[in-house]
Structures are given as C-alpha cells and as structure tokens.
Amino acid sequence: MSHRGAFIVIEGLDRSGKTTQTETIQKRIQEAGKEVVCIKFPDRSTSIGKMIDSYLRSQSNLDDHVVHLLFSANRWELASTILAHLKQGKVVLCDRYAFSGIAFSVAKNLPPINLAWARAPDASLPSPDLTLFLDISPEAAQSRGGYGEERYEKEGMQRRSQERISDGKGGGKGTWIIVDAGRDMSAVTEEMWVHIRPLLDGLDTPVGRLWD
Ligand code: Z5A
Ligand code: MG
C-alpha cells in the first residue's frame, strides 16, 4: 500500500455542531497546505439521497427497513469516491457516517432492526482512521434553536439515538474520540485539531473496512 490520505469522520447528534466544525476544520487543513475533500451523509444530491430527503421532510413514507438500506446505499454510492481521494493523498472529512445510520434505526425499537441487523449493510465500507464524536446532551442541543421540522428531530428519538450511537463503533481499527461539544466553538475545534493534526501527513497502512 502506498502512502494515502486520512479518512476522518465527525459524528454526533443533531445540533452538536458537526457541520460548523467540518467547515472550520476544512479551512484549517487547507491553511496547513493539505488537500481536503468534505463529504456529508446523507448526501441529498443523489437519486437515493433525494428519496431520503423526501422521507426526512415527511413528504413521503417508506418502510423503516427500506429507509435504513437507503441510508447505507447512499454511503455505498460514494465509497469508491472516498477511496479514490484517499489514494490521491487527500484528507477526506466526512460529516456523519455509518454510526448515525445504526443509531437512528436501532433507536426506533422495531425488531428485527437490532444492532446486528443494522450494522450488516455497511460491512466493508471504508473504515474511518479517526472518528470524532461530538457529545452533547439533547437539552443543550435543543437550546441551540430547538429541533426543526424533520422526522427524527424529536427529543425522544434524539435521546434514544444518543444511547445507541457509540454501539455502532464496535469493530474497525480506527480511533474513536469523544469530544465535549457543549463548550464554545473554538474550544471544540482546538480539541478536534489535536487529534486531526497528526494525520495530515497521511498513512502507509491500507484503508480499513467496516467492521473488520
Ligand atoms: N440519519 C440517519 O437516520 N441515518 C443515517 O445513516 C444518516 C443520518 C447518515 C439528517 O441528518 C438526519 O439523518 C439526522 C440523522 C439521520 N436526523 N436527525 N436528527 P443531517 O446531517 O442532514 O442533519 P443534522 O446533523 O441532524 O442536523 P444539523 O442541524 O445539521 O446538526 P449539526 O451539523 O450537528 O449542527 P450545526 O449545523 O453545525 O450547528 C447547529 C446550530 O448550533 C447552528 O446554529 C450553529 O451555529 C450552532 N452551534 C454549533 N456549535 C456550537 C457551539 N459550540 N456553541 C453554540 N452554538 C453552536
Ligand atoms: Mg449538520
């Protein structure tokens, strides 16, 4: 395996600051003179992403199993793109990934959608080298403007998915770091940067696969 870029995932609940921090960290990486590509899941621009978007905005109804598989398929749509960027030595910064998929589906409490069932479709996707989990209580997240109109933006769902989100991390060789996201934005950025900076020069190990 030749030298490659690092695959870094930013996870966390609604309003934990994932998108804000992804943008800040992207600028920092560029200022450090490194190439970075940002990806966000769900990617609502693809044909599968448009189905997800319509479901999340309650403009369509879909079976819960189908929705779960669509979220996973949305990641598979971009898997080869992620690998290609890494191969070119670029940092790939990803706003939500498979851990969100597992957490939100298992939080529905609808057997047979248990942890094993929910993890299966994401098996063999590129595995992050580093996952930064932005940890915030549902109360603190809600104080950042309250939940919006989307289907999962309800306190019970947020609380249950928070309990589940780190269950998804089992397996994979990457590092999982919990960051206290209840602090001011710059404090959160600084802590994230401590973990990201050592990866900017790339890695010589092959890209891992979920859930090896
Ligand atoms: N979902 C799923 O079910 N299965 C899957 O496989 C995947 C996702 C991938 C949509 O996701 C839904 O899809 C989501 C999970 C489900 N459902 N929920 N809930 P999304 O990524 O499109 O949307 P989101 O992440 O839930 O919401 P968000 O609003 O994008 O959250 P965020 O990115 O974490 O937060 P933000 O936009 O950066 O910040 C929110 C506000 O807080 C904003 O006004 C900021 O200025 C403010 N903010 C940020 N940081 C701070 C700090 N540190 N202090 C104070 N204020 C702050
Ligand atoms: Mg966001």
Residue 170 predicted with pLDDT over 60: no
Confidence of residue 171 (pLDDT cuts 50, 70, 90): low
Pocket test for ligand 1, best of 82, 100, 106 (most atoms within 8 A of CB): 100
Tell me the fold of 7-199.
Rossmann fold (3.40.50)
Name the closest-CA residue to atom 23, ligand 1.
14
Residue 15 Cα, ligand 2 centroid: separation in angstroms? 7
The edge-to-edge listing of strands for the beta sheet with 91-95 is 36-40, 91-95, 7-12, 130-135, 175-180
Q: Which atom of ligand 1 is nearest to the CA of 97?
A: 9
SS3 7: strand
* Distance from the Cα of residue 97 to its chain's centroid: 3
70 Cβ contact list (under 8 Å, min separation 6): 48, 51, 52, 55, 62
Neighbours of 44 (CB within 10 A): 16
Measuring from atom 31 of ligand 1, which residue has the nearest CA? Answer: 15
Compute the distance from residue 15 Cα to the ligand 1 centre, in Å. Answer: 4
- Mean pLDDT to the nearest integer, 132-157: 86
Q: What is the mean pLDDT of the chain?
A: 93
DSSP string, 118-156: HHGGGTTSBPPSEEEEEE--HHHHHTTT---SSTT-SHH
Domain segments of the chain as ranges: 7-199
Determine the average pLDDT of the residues in 61-77.
98
Provide φ and ψ at 112, rounded to 5°: -90, 20
pLDDT tens-place string over residues 54-66: 999 999 999 999 9
pTM here is: 0.96
Give the helix/strand (H/E) hosting 44.
Answer: none
How many angstroms separate the CA atoms of 115 and 105, rounded? 9
What residue's CA is closest to ligand 1, atom 27? 14
- Does the CB atom of residue 145 touch ligand 1 within 6 A? yes
pLDDT above 70 (res 167): no
